Structure 1
Amino acid sequence: MKAMETRLKGVFLIEPQVFGDARGWFMESWSKRKFEDAGFPVEFLQDNQSFSAQKGTLRGLHYQLNPMAQAKLLRCTRGRIFDVAVDIRKGSPQYGKWASAELTAENKRQLFIPRGFAHGFITLTDDVEVQYKADNYYAPECDGNIRWDDPAIGIHWPIAPVILSDKDKAAPLLAERTELNFTYDK
C-alpha cells in the first residue's frame, strides 16, 4: 500500500495494491501489519457502512468527543464521493483547515482520518456505498457535528447538496462548538 499525506498533517490518502487479471481483481483493504509498518498503530473496533440513494447527499461534518473520539479509515465501494476532513483540535496550527479526496469504487483509494478531526462527504453519483472502520465504538452521548457550509472553514464542495439530514441542517458553526475537547499534540 502507498500512504500519501494530504495537506493536513495526520490525514492520509491510502492507495492499496490491486492485483488484477481477466477474472477481475483482488486487494487487501486492511492489514494491521501493513498499517503498523506504515506508521498507523491503530486498532479498529467497528465497521460501518452507509448507502445514499441520490447524488448530492451530504453527510457531515461529524465527530465524536473524547473519550469516545474515533479515527476512521474510509472507502467508497460503489459510486463516487468527495470526502472531507477538518482539523478541530484546539491549538493546532491547522485548526479549522480542511483536506479532501475523491474516493470511488474504481480508484479504490481510502482516506485515513485521525482522532480530533471532523468528517463529511457528498455523493457525486446516485447509489453510493461507503464503508469505514472506526477505532472506537459509536457513542451517541459524544456525537457532534459542525455546519457543512461554515464560512470560517470554507470547504469548496464540488456540487451543491440536495439532501441533508435534519441534524446536519441544524448543525452549529465551528466557533459555536465550545465543548470540543480535542487538543493538539505536537
Structure 2
Amino acid sequence: MKVVETALPGVFRVRPDVIVDERGGFFESLRTSEFERITGAVFAPRQINYSVSRRNTVRGIHSVSIPPGQAKYVTCVRGALRDFAVDLRIGSPTFGDHVVTLLDPASSWGVYIPEGVGHGFVTLADDTCICYALSTEHVPGTQIDINPFDSELALPWGCVEPPLISAKDARAPSLADARSAGVLAEWMAPSPDAG
C-alpha cells in the first residue's frame, strides 16, 4: 500500500494495491501491521460505522474528547465525497488548518485521522456510503462538534446550493468557542525516536 502523510501531522492518505483481473478487482483496504510499520501510528479498530447520504450533504466537523479519544480510518464504499481533516489540537503547528481528499471506490484511497483531529465531508453523489473504522467504541457525551461553516476555518466545501445538514451540526460552536470551553485536545508532538 502507498501511505502519504498530509500537511497535518499524523493525518495519512492510504492507497491500497489493487489486483485486477477479468472478474474485477480485489484490495486490502488497510493492513494495520503494515500501516504501523510505515507510520508508527498504532491503530486497532474497535467499532465500524457506515453512513449513507444524499448528494450535497455536509456531515461534521466531529471529533471525540480525550479520554477516550478516537482515531478513524475513513473510506468511501459507494458514491463520492470530499473529505476534510481539520487540526483541532491546541498547540499544534497546524492548528485550525485542514486537508481535503477526494474519496470514491474507484480510487480506493482512505484517510487515517488521529485523535484530536476533526473530520467532516460533503457528498458529491446520491446514495454515497462512507465507512469509518474507529479506534474506540462510542461513548455518549464525548463527541466534539465544530460548526462546519465557521468563518475562521473557511473550509472549501464547494457546495453550489444550500447543503443538507443536521440541526446539531448547524448549531455547533465555532472553533474559538470550543477552544474557550476547554474541550479540545492538546497537541502531543511525536517523540524524536517514533516511527
> TM-score normalised by the shorter chain: which range applies?
over 0.9
Mapping of residues 71-82 of structure 1, within 5 Å: 71-82=71-82
> Does residue 188 of structure 2 align to residue 185 of structure 1?
yes
Q: Secondary structure at the match of 2:169?
A: helix
Q: Percent identity?
A: 36
Q: Secondary structure at the match of 1:38?
A: helix
Mapping of residues 78-117 of structure 1, within 5 Å: 78-117=78-117
- Moved segments of 4+, more than 4 Å: none
CA distance in 2, matches of 1:2, 1:38: 9
Structure 1 residues not aligned, in runs of 5+: none
Q: Deviations over 1:120-162 (max 9, x none)?
A: 0000111100001110111121112001011111111122452
CA distance in 1, matches of 2:128, 2:184: 32
Mapping of residues 104-183 of structure 1, within 5 Å: 104-160=104-160, 161-177=162-178, 178-183=181-186
CA distance in 1, matches of 2:64, 2:135: 11
Structure 2 residues not aligned, in runs of 5+: 190-195
Please state how far the C-alpha of 1:114 moved relative to its aligned partner.
0.4
Asked if structure 2 preserves the Cα contact closer than 8 Å seen for 1:87 and 1:118, the reply is yes
Asked if structure 2 preserves the Cα contact closer than 8 Å seen for 1:68 and 1:138, the reply is no
Tell me the amino acid that sits aligned with residue 25 of structure 1. G
TM-score by length of 1: 0.96
CA distance in 2, matches of 1:140, 1:97: 27
Asked if structure 2 preserves the Cα contact closer than 8 Å seen for 1:88 and 1:180, the reply is no
Computed over aligned residues only, the root mean square deviation of the Cα atoms, in angstroms, reads: 1.1
CA distance in 1, matches of 2:67, 2:12: 23
State how many pairs are aligned. 185
CA distance in 2, matches of 1:62, 1:18: 30
Q: Secondary structure at the match of 1:140?
A: coil
